């Protein structure tokens, strides 16, 4: 690579997808996503580089320029993908950090692969970063990178952001490699969490499990630096979503969708990655009971649930997929008429325009994770729904509930309580719904992903 970067983002995946044209030519297209959109301007301004995996195992891709910044692909073998990504990241850390809602598996060979791959990312970053550059490492797949990078390059300013919850000490302690992970994170100058509770869990852990001195939100690493831990709640490109939802294309699509659903009076909508943390089993059961008990009438009400396929080779996810198919099938065979299922369930990913069209027509948006770092779907709904007549039902266990306090808040473990709140959201007096929605819109438009990135990077620069 010609010049070394002044700003480097490090994430498990690159922000680009490979597209192969009919004539066989290969091109790279920016993958849609909030993080990329928020960071691209900084990347271009500062001569940035993005270090990450390109998505194809057993293949090495040379660094290249894309849209005004550098792309630095890190290779993974098929075995590493299984052990570092599907294994340690998604079957050990993911369930452990989400309140063990599924059982975390501990395997020594997964940990070895995690160590190897984190080191490879750290080395690639050390080579891409210029003197005194700022580096921002993202998420739970790369918890060891801050310390590894600091050892290689003490001149760098290192930030880390955790997109998922940071668990309470009692759960974290199960991890056989807990000491290495804490020290890995402490290599950063600034560690960001979604909510203040995450930062508090982390600081408490450091205080009780290490010898480092903790003063307020800073951890003093003797002879080196101070690592600060704070909350930076992530958000979305709120205006971008709102504008998208007002385009003729999206409006036409939402009308077609209404037509397809038979113009129901009330539409409940769920939008998730198919993940056991999202509370799909509980939500579908609650909606099913409301239909079965006649509180909701399938003649004028529909529950539209879309679930993006996710981590399909991991055992728990296969099981979840089968469970949901079974549950939806069972409910639909009891309620609803011919050609008019009570639950319209789609196991697929959709373009952003279709997402915006669904958010437009949903009367009640149902977001009920058992544990979630933030949950951007809740914010996207608030930004896209055109009127203040919509209602957001939100789990108290989503990070978003700390900010979206005017939502209809539920405990997804309490089925009866959840059913009551779902009914309340659907039947509340318009002035109550509008009052809540106005407050939600104020919050979402007043706190965007751009401000999130500016706040984090501003604090990192000041360190
Ligand atoms: P996720 O667990 O993936 O993210 P979330 O924040 O809800 O959860 O983001 C999901 C994204 O995928 C949204 O932008 C949504 O629009 C999109 N999406 C969902 N279903 C889709 C479908 N069927 N088709 C197309 N798009 C779909 C992790 C953490 C979260 C945290 C984010 C960001 O688990 O807690 O909010 O990172 O930090």
pLDDT at 333: 93
**Ligand 1 within 6 A of CB of 234:** yes
Mutate to test the pocket of ligand 1, among 377, 401, 449 (most ligand atoms within 8 A of CB): 377
Two structure tokens written together for 278? 């999202």
**How many angstroms does the Cα of residue 435 sit away from the middle of ligand 1?**
27
Q: What whole-number percentage of the chain has pLDDT above 90?
A: 94
Rounded alpha-carbon distances, angstroms, from residue 218 to 77, 189, 213, 225, 445:
38, 9, 8, 10, 31
Q: Is the pTM of this model over 0.85?
A: yes
Interval 116-135 mean pLDDT: 98
Give 2's pLDDT tier (boundaries 50, 70, 90). Answer: low
Over residues 82-114, the pLDDT tens digits come to 999 999 999 999 999 999 999 999 999 999 999
pLDDT at 44: 87
How many residues can be counted in the chain? Answer: 463
**Ligand 1 within 6 A of CB of 163:** yes
Over residues 249-279, the pLDDT tens digits come to 999 999 999 999 999 999 999 999 999 999 9
**Ligand 1 within 6 A of CB of 373:** yes
**What does the mean pLDDT of the chain come to?**
96
Beta partners for residue 219, in sequence order? 214, 227
Nearest CA to ligand 1 atom 28: 163
**Ligand 1 within 6 A of CB of 285:** no
pLDDT exceeds 70 at position 59: yes
Catalytic option among 189, 272, 275, 372:
372
**Ligand 1 within 6 A of CB of 354:** no
Interval 308-325 mean pLDDT: 94
**Ligand 1 within 6 A of CB of 376:** yes
pLDDT at 42: 86
pLDDT exceeds 80 at position 35: yes
**Ligand 1 within 6 A of CB of 403:** no
Please state, as a whole number, how many other Cβ atoms lie within 10 Å of the Cβ of residue 462: 9
- Is 163 labeled as catalytic in the residue annotation? yes
Burial (CB < 10 A; 0-12, 13-18, 19+), residue 261, is: middle
Burial (CB < 10 A; 0-12, 13-18, 19+), residue 62, is: exposed
pLDDT exceeds 90 at position 47: no
pLDDT at 36: 86
Beta partners for residue 52, in sequence order? 73
**How many angstroms does the Cα of residue 99 sit away from the middle of ligand 1?**
19
For residues 61 and 53, what is the distance between their CA atoms, to the nearest angstrom? 10
For residues 182 and 203, what is the distance between their CA atoms, to the nearest angstrom? 10
Interval 281-305 mean pLDDT: 97
Interval 68-91 mean pLDDT: 97
pLDDT exceeds 70 at position 1: no
**Ligand 1 within 6 A of CB of 273:** yes
Interval 445-459 mean pLDDT: 96
pLDDT at 34: 78
Nearest CA to ligand 1 atom 20: 272
**How many angstroms does the Cα of residue 400 sit away from the middle of ligand 1?**
12
Catalytic option among 163, 243, 323, 428:
163
pLDDT exceeds 90 at position 41: no
Please state, as a whole number, how many other Cβ atoms lie within 10 Å of the Cβ of residue 432: 13
Over residues 359-386, the pLDDT tens digits come to 999 999 999 999 999 999 999 999 999 9
Over residues 204-244, the pLDDT tens digits come to 999 999 999 999 999 999 999 999 999 999 999 999 999 99
Tokens 């509370």 found at: 279
Mutate to test the pocket of ligand 1, among 39, 271, 305 (most ligand atoms within 8 A of CB): 271
pLDDT at 233: 98
**How many angstroms does the Cα of residue 272 sit away from the middle of ligand 1?**
7
Q: What whole-number percentage of the chain has pLDDT above 70?
A: 100
Comparing 35-44, 54-63, 150-159, the range with the smallest average pLDDT is 35-44
Comparing 186-200, 328-342, 366-380, 381-395, the range with the smallest average pLDDT is 328-342
Of ligand 1's atoms, which has the minimum distance to the CA of residue 399? Answer: 35
């Amino acid at each position: 690579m010609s010049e070394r970067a002044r700003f480097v983002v490090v994430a498990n995946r690159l922000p680009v997808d490979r597209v192969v044209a009919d004539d066989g030519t290969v091109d790279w297209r920016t993958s849609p996503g909030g993080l990329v959109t928020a960071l691209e301007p900084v990347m271009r301004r500062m001569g940035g580089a993005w270090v990450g995996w390109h998505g194809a195992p057993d293949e090495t891709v040379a660094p290249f320029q894309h849209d005004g910044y550098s792309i630095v692909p890190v290779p993974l073998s098929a075995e590493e993908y299984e052990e570092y990504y599907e294994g340690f990241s998604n079957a050990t850390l993911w369930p452990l950090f989400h309140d063990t809602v599924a059982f975390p598996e501990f395997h020594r060979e997964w940990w070895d692969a995690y160590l190897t791959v984190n080191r490879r990312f750290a080395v690639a970053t050390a080579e891409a970063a210029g003197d005194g550059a700022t580096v921002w490492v993202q998420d739970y797949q790369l918890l060891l990178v801050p310390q590894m990078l600091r050892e290689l390059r003490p001149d760098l300013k290192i930030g880390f952001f955790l997109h998922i919850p940071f668990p309470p000490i009692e759960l974290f302690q199960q991890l056989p490699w807990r000491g290495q992970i804490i020290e890995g994170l402490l290599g950063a100058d600034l560690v960001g969490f979604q909510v203040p509770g995450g930062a508090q869990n982390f600081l408490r852990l450091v205080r009780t499990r290490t010898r480092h001195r903790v003063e307020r939100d800073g951890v003093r690493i003797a002879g080196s630096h101070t690592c600060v831990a704070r909350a930076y709640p992530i958000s979305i490109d709120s205006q971008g979503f709102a504008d998208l939802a007002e385009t003729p294309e999206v409006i036409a699509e939402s009308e077609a969708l209404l037509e397809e659903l038979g113009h129901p009076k009330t539409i409940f909508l769920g939008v998730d990655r198919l993940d056991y943390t999202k509370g799909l089993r509980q939500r579908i059961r609650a909606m099913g009971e409301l239909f079965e008990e006649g509180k909701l009438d399938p003649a004028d009400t529909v529950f539209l649930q879309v679930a993006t396929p996710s981590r399909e080779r991991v055992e728990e996810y296969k099981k979840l997929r089968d469970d949901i198919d079974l549950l939806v099938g069972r409910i639909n065979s009891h309620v609803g008429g011919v050609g008019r299922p009570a639950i319209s369930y789609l196991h697929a990913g959709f373009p952003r325009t279709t997402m915006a069209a669904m958010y437009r027509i949903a009367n009640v948006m149902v977001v009920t994770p058992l544990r979630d770092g933030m949950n951007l779907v809740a914010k996207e709904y608030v930004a896209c729904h055109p009127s203040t007549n919509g209602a957001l039902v939100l789990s108290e266990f989503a990070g978003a509930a700390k900010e979206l306090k005017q939502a209809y808040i539920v405990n997804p473990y309490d089925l009866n309580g959840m059913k009551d709140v779902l009914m309340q959201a659907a039947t509340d007096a318009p002035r109550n719904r509008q009052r809540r929605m106005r407050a939600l819109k104020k919050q979402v438009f007043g706190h965007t992903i751009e401000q999130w990135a500016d706040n984090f990077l501003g604090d990192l620069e000041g360190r």
